[in-house]
A and B are shown apart, each in its own frame.
Chain A
Amino acid sequence: MATAAPAPQAGTAPIGVVPASGARQVWRRLRSQRAAVTAATVLVLLILIAVLAPVLSAIEGQDPTTYHDALVNSASGGVPHGSLGGISGVHWLGVEPGTGRDLFARLVYGSQISLLVAVGATVVQVAVGIAVGLAAGLGSRLLDQFLGHTTDVMIALPGLVFAIALMAVVPNSFPRPLLLMLVIGLLGWGGTARVVRAQTLSLKELDYVAAARLGGSSPWRIARRELLPPLAAPVITYAALLLPSNVVSEAGLSFLGVGVRPPTSSWGQMLSSATTWFQADPMYVLLPAALLFVTTLAFTVFGDALRTALDPRAASRLRVGVRRRRTKEETA
């Protein structure tokens, strides 16, 4: 979708023969990584901010939509009075140039949009991706070919361009955050589908799946009992990488002016208006940019740690390089 979308790795190792790692083990491995704990803490904080946005702005005593014309210098085009973009005890992070709206309130409300759209879009991507990938992996050859090509097209689509165009043609009455979720989600399921399909195909070849067939299990029973559980790890790993890329996608679309519309605020949309102010009021750029950066970084770091925790073997192989000779020794 956007520039940061993770590329599905071609050579993902077949799962399923790796010893099961229980949720407790994963949790323990996650906790042992300092970066993961930091990232998780940041993410929890961000979620709290988003959920408590009304409370937080009430504590400040401001709301995100009220204009404060008195606080901006209309003579200079609307630069806030005071230093650092008008930071004061009343407006903790200053005010928006031009309108004088309270920045703190706009930022915390903006986090709602960013997180909501990112999570919603990821849910759509994963749901569609699993459905398509499983159907392709388990269905007939014809179905597989059809879905495979569709997936290829979806991955190849100039997603951002498509999204811009789609966002533009849908009537304004449609709720924008929901539209963003759907557009980002429906254009971005290709990677998940490809991962799921590849894993399904390699899982399907495993002897224990053949054994289940011989044991008289129906295809549905096999999918449920033998295929879905081992798919959880790669899908979660992949979804964790989709999240930050969806945060960026939302911000990008809003930045281009086709995302959420004022007076609703989102970080991307704030950055968009900030482009005209960055010389006069750098604070207005820095605040949403920093929040956006911290959010995506936290998601990325956490996703990476999650991958390590879910598949420590693959991760350590990449970290230290394979000691293939040990493996050979075991085989000999």
Chain B
Amino acid sequence: MSGYVLRRLAGMVAVLLVLSVVIYAAFYIAPGDPAQIACGLKCSPAQVAQVREQLGLADPVYVQYAHFLGGIVAGRDFSTGTAVMHCHAPCLGISYRSGEQVTSMILQRLPVTGSLALGGMVLWLLLGVGTGLLSALRRGRPTERALTGLTMAGNAVPVFVIGLMLLIVFCSTLQWLPFPSYVPLTSDPQAWFWGLLLPWVSLAVVESAKYARLTRSSMLETLAEDHIRTFRAYGVSERRLVTRHALRAALTPVIALSALDLGTMFGSAVLTESLFGLPGLGKMLVSSVAVVDLPVVVGVVMVTGFCVVLANAAADVLYAVADRRVVLS
């Protein structure tokens, strides 16, 4: 087991390294001149040269990358011409625009995206697993057909479309809910909840469709297995067959997928955040992209990549723990 965890960790580090190389190459080397971008279009060549020197952009590419990596591991110093600015250990650089440290910018916004992702997940799991189980246990009946239609529609509608519709209906027309906004959980739990309700629902409607389909097919497959037939042939009640024997096996892939999605959500919440104007990671990414603030873009991509890799590992471990037949190797 511990050997497995070690191998898994090593794999994660490797993937992150590859990821960082790819990102670094794509965003720093490929297009345009970073120094020009950092300085702004109106800078004179002399100013650009100065900026290039300050940011270490004059060094060969691999040296720059080494500095970048070093910054993540041990922190690094930036000189702003007059003063030296120290950037602490997981240093992802300094924003070209605001001069803030990217790491702290990300840390500020992480709770927003986290609240959005976690709350949404609770909702979509309830909704998706519920619908999936119901349609599996009512197969061949009108209930199932209706649910199948609904999940297909849910699967087809983009999150920003659902969100817009909800906004029109509940905020603009009926005025039952306030326009979504982010209030930290710690300062006002109630405002936090009401402010995020609509984003959660939008996410849940879209994501739950996927979970409903997965739950349904997984449940049907499990119910068709031989060992279910055994216990049916031994007079164990159908309810017990489902709750004790089928549910666990059927939900294993669902749990693994939700771990995965939770990680992905740190990136893909960008649509929801943009629509509802929530100041999360995604929103920051989009606004940084608009002004070509490369260190922030790279930082956000790195962090979301990290979340995904972490979630992948978590999903694997969950799978292995839930399904003891899987040999850890």
Residues of B within 8 A of A (CB): 15, 18-19, 26-27, 30-32, 139-140, 152-153, 155-161, 164-165, 167-168, 172, 206-207, 210, 214, 216-217, 220-221, 223-226, 229, 253, 257, 264, 266-268, 270-271, 274-275, 282, 285-286, 289-290, 292, 294, 297-298, 300-301, 304-305, 307-309, 312
Contact = CB atoms under 8 A, between A and B. Distances in A.
Contact of A319 (B26, B140, B257, B289): B140
B164 A274 contact: yes
A289 B161 contact: yes
A159 B19 CA distance: 12
Best-buried of A271, A279, A289 by chain B (most CB within 10 Å): A289
Nearest to B264: A158
Contacts of B221: 11, 318, 322
Contacts of B30: 169
A317 B139 CA distance: 11
A234 B286 CA distance: 36
Given A7-B214, A171-B31, A318-B220, A278 B153 contact: no
B316 to A, nearest CB: 11
A227 B267 CA distance: 37
Contacts, number: 167
Main secondary structure of the interface of A (DSSP, over half): helix
A45 interface: no
> What bracket does the count of chain A residues touching chain B fall in?
35 or more
B31 A258 contact: no
A156 B289 CA distance: 22
Contacts of A165: 26-27, 285, 289, 297-298, 301
Interface in A296-332: 296-297, 299-301, 304, 317-322, 324-325
Contacts of B158: 2-4, 248, 251-252, 255, 292, 296
B157 A296 contact: yes
A258 B157 CA distance: 20
A256 interface: yes
23 contacts: A2-B271, A3-B158, A4-B155, A156-B312, A160-B268, A161-B300, A161-B301, A168-B290, A169-B30, A244-B156, A252-B271, A255-B158, A255-B275, A271-B161, A278-B167, A285-B168, A301-B152, A317-B224, A320-B139, A320-B140, A321-B220, A321-B224, A324-B224
Contacts of A282: 168, 172
Contacts of A289: 161, 164-165
A300 B309 contact: no
B164 A278 contact: yes
B139 A168 contact: no
B259 to A, nearest CB: 12
A27 interface: no
A208 interface: no
B38 to A, nearest CB: 14
A206 interface: no
A271 B270 contact: no
Contacts of B266: 158
A176 B270 CA distance: 21
B289 A3 contact: no
A161 to B, nearest CB: 4
Given A2-B268, A165-B27, A321-B223, A158 B172 contact: no
Interface string A148-172: 0100110011111110111111110
A317 B300 CA distance: 44
Main secondary structure of the interface of B (DSSP, over half): helix
B210 A258 contact: no
Contacts of A149: 15
Contacts of B223: 321
Contacts of A301: 152
A239 B301 CA distance: 27
Given A157-B305, A166-B26, A278 B172 contact: yes
The 6 tightest CB contacts between A and B, nearest first, are A158-B267, A322-B224, A168-B289, A297-B156, A161-B267, A296-B156
A66 interface: no
Contact of B301 (A9, A158, A244, A293): A158
B63 to A, nearest CB: 21
A154 B160 CA distance: 25
A256 B155 contact: no
A256 B158 CA distance: 13
Interface in A240-286: 244, 248, 251-252, 255-258, 271, 274-275, 278-279, 282, 285
Nearest to A4: B155
Contact of B275 (A2, A275, A299): A275
Contacts of A248: 158
A310 B257 CA distance: 26
A160 B270 contact: yes
A5 B132 CA distance: 18
Interface string A35-50: 0000000000000000
Contacts of A317: 220, 224
A4 B206 contact: yes
Contacts of B268: 2-3, 158-161
A324 B229 contact: yes
B165 A169 contact: no
A139 B312 CA distance: 26
Nearest to A156: B308
A211 interface: no
B286 A256 contact: yes
